[in-house]
């Protein structure tokens, strides 16, 4: 049975995770232990729960209780479900709830990067990708197009930010991911030594005169390949580019020099994934 609690006191501390705490504050709310994140929409929340994330509370539009969220909330056990009309929730949270449902969840403990990619053959690496929408879109492409894991430098936007998870359609909970350690005290550089130690060749997306095309057969022939995507404005750091085995570009027409990093990720993942080699990895 649903543990429904109608909102009467807007200053209730139980609601602070939705009403007053920023996403960065949620990340550190339980330091040194893992913090909280907010998942939005029944589909994203369901995928988070299926991946093992533990719900702490729900916030629901009253009219949504008999909609697509009903089964999810009825199976939530004793987890409190705070409810109010959408107009009230919009005042409380500052925005209209996507599909009428939010869920505060405990952040999952992230694995060690080396352990995560130990048995992988195709991984995506994000270096200083700071836009949450781009991060979410890249995760969706990675999950759909054959990547087996995603590694992020510490400077990247958090995949569990509400916008990232929503844009990813919940695939941030389906594809394994973790952060790389800082390199030489910098959060914006990829740990190339780790990739090489784990047996990966690296393919950096960059506009350089020595770049090969994304459909170069040498890339598809690599057994273990890390596809590295850089910052939306500056691209990859010089140190990362210098340490890569390949630099790769997507041929353009009509005078366009490049695609948005999220769009580029879909092209390169499809081209370089194990599925597109004619066999599985």
pLDDT of residue 81: 93
> In the listed set 80, 106, 132, which residue is the last one of a domain according to the structure?
106
pLDDT of residue 99: 59
pLDDT of residue 262: 95
Residues 56, 154 within the same domain: no
**CATH value at residue 96:** 3.30.1330.30
Residues 121, 50 within the same domain: no
> In the listed set 106, 141, 163, which residue is the last one of a domain according to the structure?
106
Residues 232, 149 within the same domain: yes
Q: How far is CA 10 from CA 61, 91, 182, 211, in A?
A: 15, 10, 41, 57
pLDDT band at 280 (very low <50, low <70, confident <90, very high): very low
The CB density around residue 251, as the number of other CB atoms within 10 Å, is 7
Identify the residue with better confidence: 215 or 149.
149
pLDDT band at 93 (very low <50, low <70, confident <90, very high): low
pLDDT of residue 95: 54
pLDDT above 80: residue 170: yes
Residues 152, 266 within the same domain: yes
Residues 89, 120 within the same domain: no
- 184-218 pLDDT, tens digit each: 888 999 999 999 999 999 999 988 778 898 889 99
pLDDT of residue 126: 98
Give me the chain's average pLDDT, please.
88
pLDDT above 80: residue 144: yes
Identify the residue with better confidence: 274 or 163.
163
Q: Who contacts 9 (Cβ-Cβ below 8 Å, separation ≥6)?
A: none
Residues 68, 125 within the same domain: no
pLDDT of residue 15: 82
Residues 118, 252 within the same domain: yes
Residues 199, 96 within the same domain: no
Residues 261, 194 within the same domain: yes
Residues 228, 123 within the same domain: yes
Q: Which domain holds residue 178?
A: 113-277
pLDDT above 90: residue 33: no
DSSP letter string over the chain? --EEEE---TT-GGGHHHHT--HHHHHTTTTTS--EEEEESHHHHHHHHHTTPPEEEEEEEGGGTTTTTHHHHHTSTTSEEEEE-HHHHHHHHSSPPGGGEEEEEEPPPPPPHHHHTTT-SEEEEESS---HHHHHHHHHHHHHTT--EEEE-TTSPPTTSHHHHHHTTTGGGTS-EEEPPPBTTBSSS--HHHHHHTT-EEEEE---TTPEETT-HHHHH-SSEEEEE-BTTTBS-HHHHHH-SEEEE----TT-----HHHHHHHHHHHHSGGGGTS--
pLDDT above 70: residue 276: no
pLDDT of residue 278: 43
């Amino acid at each position: 049975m649903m543990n429904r609690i109608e909102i009467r006191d807007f200053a209730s501390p139980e609601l602070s995770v939705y009403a007053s705490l920023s996403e960065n504050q949620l990340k550190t709310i339980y330091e040194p232990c893992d913090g909280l994140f907010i998942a939005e929409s029944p589909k994203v929340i369901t995928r988070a729960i299926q991946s093992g994330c533990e719900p702490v509370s729900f916030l629901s539009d009253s009219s949504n209780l008999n909609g697509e969220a009903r089964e999810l909330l009825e199976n939530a056990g004793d987890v409190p479900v705070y409810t109010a009309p959408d107009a009230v929730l919009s005042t409380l949270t500052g925005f209209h709830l996507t599909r009428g449902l939010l869920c505060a969840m405990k952040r999952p403990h992230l694995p060690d990067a080396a352990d995560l990619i130990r048995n992988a053959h195709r991984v995506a690496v994000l270096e200083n990708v700071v836009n949450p929408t781009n991060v979410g879109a890249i995760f969706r492409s990675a999950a759909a197009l054959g990547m087996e894991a995603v590694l992020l430098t510490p400077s990247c936007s958090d995949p569990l930010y509400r916008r990232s998870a929503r844009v990813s359609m919940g695939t941030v909970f389906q594809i394994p991911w973790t952060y790389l350690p800082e390199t030489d005290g910098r959060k914006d550089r990829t740990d190339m030594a780790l990739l090489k130690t784990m047996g990966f060749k690296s393919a950096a997306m960059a506009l350089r005169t020595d770049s090969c095309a994304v459909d170069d057969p040498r890339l598809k022939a690599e057994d273990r390949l890390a596809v590295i995507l850089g910052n939306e404005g500056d691209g990859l750091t010089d140190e990362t580019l210098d340490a890569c085995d390949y630099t790769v570009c997507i041929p353009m027409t009509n005078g366009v020099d490049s695609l948005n990093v999220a769009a580029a990720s879909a092209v390169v993942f499809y081209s370089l994934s194990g599925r597109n080699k004619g066999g599985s990895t």
